[in-house]
A and B are shown apart, each in its own frame.
Chain A
Amino acid sequence: MAVEIIEILDSDGVDRAITRIAHEILEKNAGVDDLLLIGIRTGGAYLATQLQQKITNIEGKDVSTGIIDVTMYRDDLESRNNLEVGHSCIHVPVTDKKVILVDDVLFTGRTIRAALEAVIALGRPQNIQLAILVDRGHRELPIRPDYIGRNIPTAQNEQIKVDFDDQNVPQAVHLLRT
């Protein structure tokens, strides 16, 4: 079956979306104090690094960033064929932090559910917020992002793909239709 590929965002578009999210995060949290960006492996981790750079450029202050792998917290252990578990590395305690979870695509919300559990297992943050590059709908859980790069209503048979270059910088967002 032929796959139709539609470009949703080019590299400038992705960059603008991340810049806007960075501003929104700073506005809502009144600066970088107690802020902790946590990217969900792997796409979210790359985006968290981008956001970190943007925020540093805007505010002139560094913001803590970590990576979380949610495999251990998933609820579909039995039906998954890929059992790879990645490393989590969060070098600062999450307790009393304002945690911004970062992921590339928000779909059913199950990954975020697992990520919430994974973060809470590490401590008690002041709050947890969610930043997403693309929200494609079809939520199966009551989860809502605080920062959205782009809303793209999709059909179940469509896929959203975020392309990264070899420096892990996002280059484009595509919609794949089969």
Chain B
Amino acid sequence: MSFNPKHILGIKNLTADEINFILDTAESFKEINTRQIKKVPTLRGKTIINLFYEASTRTRTSFEIAGKRLSADTVNISASGSSVVKGETLEDTAKNIQAMHPDIIVMRHNASGACQYLADRLDCSVVNAGDGMHEHPSQALLDAFTIRQHKGSINGLTVAIIGDITHSRVVRSNIYCLNKLGAKVRLAGPGTMLPTGIEKLGCEVFNNLEDAIRDADVVMMLRIQRERQGTPLIPSVREYARFFGLNGNKMELAKKDAIVMHPGPINRGVELGTAIADGPQNVILNQVENGVAVRMALLYLVAGGEKLNSD
């Protein structure tokens, strides 16, 4: 099939075929990461700017490594060390960056829709590395890639996602992605962290962890995003850990061969007990490993091919 996206802004507008095409492409790039010389010349001469308005270790490093292994020149800009702190608007910053002729801007921003805003105004490609509470497409794709790797196929699986659903862009992208690939999605979290109407995206909502993970094939735990909460949504971290943290006993409710995932960074002892965080069922480091291959695929696909229109 032919899939030449100009931008990758979210999973919502991708078809199942397009998602599978991205995952298959990532499969081919994965091999490079295990070579002795981890570099191919595919994106030679391309400039990629990683524009990060929010803290990030995994995603930014992963995108940077992905770009470098494809021989692109990557430049990192983080808000704290840039003219953003001097009061420049997003649009002005972006236009200034564009004047230096990058080919791809990878952006993380605290405002939902910021990547779309940029894509509408710039000539270069934009890849969303997480925008506010909206989407985090590369995360959902690497999650799907990891599930596929461990389970063979995603179709027919039950995936339970536990935690702060309201503030999680990972959840939104994952609901879109998993539904399109034929999985059943269950959500659970404290009432204050479950937005009303979320079931309309295509998922079952539970108010306790046990019901959600019963017979699940995949358990995906989320971090409580304290930086995104105005007023506290839970009485205490200890209480949250007791009711919505995953430990060995609770994990027995899931299928015997279930895997545990987490987008990171994990809060040890809060959403994941140490027995799980270091246990054999968790595939968290696999997710990180696969993230590089998936991001290589995304950069390759937005950089390549003739773009027929500018939107």
Residues of A that sit less than 8 Å from B by CB: 69, 71-73, 77-88, 117-118, 121-123
Closest residue to A76 on the B side, CB-wise? B304
B2 at the interface (CB under 8 A from A): yes
B2 engages A82 (CB within 8 Å): yes
A72-B42, A73-B41 in contact; A80/B28 too (CB < 8 A)?
Answer: no
Q: Which of B1, B24, B41, B305 contacts A80 (CB 8 A)?
A: B305
B residues in contact with A78, CB < 8 Å = 304-306
Residues of B that sit less than 8 Å from A by CB: 1-4, 21, 24-25, 27-29, 31-32, 35-37, 39-43, 70, 300-301, 303-306
CA distance A82 to B4 in the complex (A): 8
B306 engages A79 (CB within 8 Å): yes
CB distance from A111 to the nearest CB of B (A): 15
B28 engages A87 (CB within 8 Å): yes
A83 engages B4 (CB within 8 Å): yes
CB distance from A147 to the nearest CB of B (A): 28
CA distance A140 to B301 in the complex (A): 27
B39 engages A81 (CB within 8 Å): no
A73-B41, A78-B304, A78-B306 in contact; A83/B31 too (CB < 8 A)?
Answer: no
A residues in contact with B1, CB < 8 Å = 84
CA distance A121 to B25 in the complex (A): 20
B25 engages A83 (CB within 8 Å): yes
Known: A69-B28, A85-B25. 13 other contacts (CB 8 A): A71-B28, A72-B41, A72-B42, A72-B300, A73-B41, A77-B303, A78-B305, A81-B306, A83-B3, A83-B25, A85-B28, A118-B40, A121-B40
Residue among A69, A79, A83, A87 having the largest count of chain B Cβ atoms under 10 Å: A83
CB distance from B242 to the nearest CB of A (A): 46
Q: Which of B3, B24, B304 contacts A77 (CB 8 A)?
A: B304
B301 engages A83 (CB within 8 Å): yes
B305 engages A83 (CB within 8 Å): yes
Residue among A73, A81, A117 having the largest count of chain B Cβ atoms under 10 Å: A81
CB distance from B85 to the nearest CB of A (A): 37
B31 engages A87 (CB within 8 Å): yes
A85-B28, A85-B29, A87-B27 in contact; A80/B304 too (CB < 8 A)?
Answer: yes
Closest residue to A77 on the B side, CB-wise? B304
Interface of A is mostly: loop
CA distance A69 to B300 in the complex (A): 15
CA distance A78 to B301 in the complex (A): 10
A84 engages B25 (CB within 8 Å): yes
Q: Which of B24, B28, B305 contacts A81 (CB 8 A)?
A: B305
Closest residue to B46 on the A side, CB-wise? A77
B residues in contact with A69, CB < 8 Å = 28
22 cross-chain CB contacts under 8 A: A69-B28, A72-B40, A72-B41, A77-B305, A78-B306, A79-B306, A80-B304, A81-B2, A81-B4, A81-B305, A83-B3, A83-B304, A83-B305, A84-B1, A84-B21, A85-B28, A85-B300, A87-B27, A88-B31, A117-B41, A118-B40, A121-B37
A residues in contact with B39, CB < 8 Å = 121
CA distance A69 to B29 in the complex (A): 11
Q: Which of B2, B27, B70 contacts A83 (CB 8 A)?
A: B2
CA distance A72 to B71 in the complex (A): 11
B42 engages A73 (CB within 8 Å): yes
CA distance A84 to B3 in the complex (A): 9
B residues in contact with A72, CB < 8 Å = 28-29, 32, 40-42, 70, 300
CB distance from A24 to the nearest CB of B (A): 32
B residues in contact with A83, CB < 8 Å = 2-4, 25, 300-301, 304-305
A residues in contact with B29, CB < 8 Å = 72, 85
Closest residue to B70 on the A side, CB-wise? A72
CB distance from A146 to the nearest CB of B (A): 25
A122 engages B28 (CB within 8 Å): no
CB distance from A89 to the nearest CB of B (A): 8
CA distance A47 to B24 in the complex (A): 24
Residue among A69, A117, A121, A123 having the largest count of chain B Cβ atoms under 10 Å: A121
